[in-house]
Amino acid sequence: MLVESGFLEYVTHRRGYSLSIASLSLALSFRSAEPELETALRLMRDLAQGRQVNVDVAIADLDEMVYLESVRFSRKGIFRRMVEGSRTPIADTSLGCAFLAGLDSTQREKMLKTFRPSA
């Protein structure tokens, strides 16, 4: 269905699928519909540079966080940039812990149960 709708295309020399330009257009449409991200990015840059820290904005998607913006300015000279759309697990990252801390206790407990292995 994603191929037929133009969001994926088969790349012969890779013998696999790749996102198409239509996917990029969809992502750019999402970004342009969120003007708050541009304001947040300016504030994030100021904070990151002033404090020499990494600053990220992400949104939860099931058991992962999806990066919307990232400004990397580590004191240790580590400037790895998280690309918008990158995913990281909620359960075992500081970004995920920050997200969980912002939930009310009922939501947090419900989500935490999904991380526990069934025994």
Going residue by residue through the chain (119 aa), what tens digit of pLDDT does each one get?
Answer: 888 888 889 989 888 998 888 887 887 787 778 888 889 989 999 999 899 888 888 989 989 999 888 888 776 665 556 788 888 899 888 889 999 999 999 999 998 888 865 44
- Pairing status of strand 8-11 against strand 16-19: antiparallel
**Residue 65 β-bridge partners:** 60, 88
SS3 15: coil
Parallel, antiparallel or unpaired: strands 87-89 and 55-61: unpaired
pLDDT at position 116, please?
64
Residue that the structure tokens 């257009």 belong to: 25
pTM of the model: 0.69
**Beta strand pairing status for 16-19 and 55-61?**
unpaired
